[in-house]
Amino acid sequence: MATIEEQVEVLMSGTAYGDAGIRANMAKDLAGRLRKCEAEGRPLRVYCGYDPRTSDLHLGHTITMRKLRQFQDFGHDVTFLVGTFTSLIGDPSDKDSARDQLTMQRVEENALTYAEQAFKILDRDKTRVRRNDEWLTLLDFADIIRLASHFTVQQFLVRENFAKRLEEEKPIYLHEFFYALMQAYDAVAQEADVQVGGQDQLFNILVAGRKLQTGLGQKPQIAIIMGESLPGTDGEIKMSKSLGNHIPLLGEPWDMYGKVMSLPDKAMGVFHKLILGWTPAQVEQLEARLSSGDLHPNETKMRLAHDIVAIFHSEADADAAQARWNEVFRGGSGIPEDIDSAEVAEAEEIRDILVRLRMVSSRGEAKRLIQQNGVRLNEAKVDSLRARVTPDMLPAVLQVGKRQFVRLIKSENQA
Give the pLDDT confidence of 57-103 residue by residue, as tens digits: 899 999 999 999 999 999 999 999 999 998 887 666 555 545 566 77
Residue closest to 64 by CA, chosen among 177, 287, 230, 270? 230
Domain 244-334 sits in CATH 1.10.240.10: yes
pTM recorded for the entire structure: 0.78
Task: Outline which parts of the chain fall under CATH 1.10.240.10.
Answer: 244-334
| Cα 74–chain centre separation | 24
Task: Outline which parts of the chain fall under CATH 3.10.290.10.
Answer: 337-415
Residue count of the chain: 415
Decide: 321 and 256 in contact? Cβ < 8 Å.
yes
Q: Can you list the pairs that 176-179 forms with residues at least 24 positions away whose Cβ atoms lie under 8 Å?
A: 176/89, 176/92, 176/98, 177/153, 178/89, 178/144, 179/86, 179/89, 179/90, 179/91, 179/92, 179/93, 179/204
Contacts of 374 (CB under 8 A, 6+ apart): 400, 401
4-225, which class in CATH?
Answer: alpha beta
Split the chain (415 residues) into runs of 10 and give each run's mean pLDDT.
94 94 97 96 97 86 95 97 86 56 80 87 95 95 94 85 83 85 96 95 93 97 94 86 82 89 90 92 92 88 95 94 79 64 89 91 87 87 87 86 84 64
Architecture of domain 337-415: Roll (3.10)
Task: Outline which parts of the chain fall under CATH 3.40.50.620.
Answer: 4-225
**Mean per-residue pLDDT over the chain, rounded:** 88
Burial 162-199 (b: 16+ CB within 10 A, else e): beebeeeeeebeeebbbbbbbbbbbbbbbebbbbbbbb
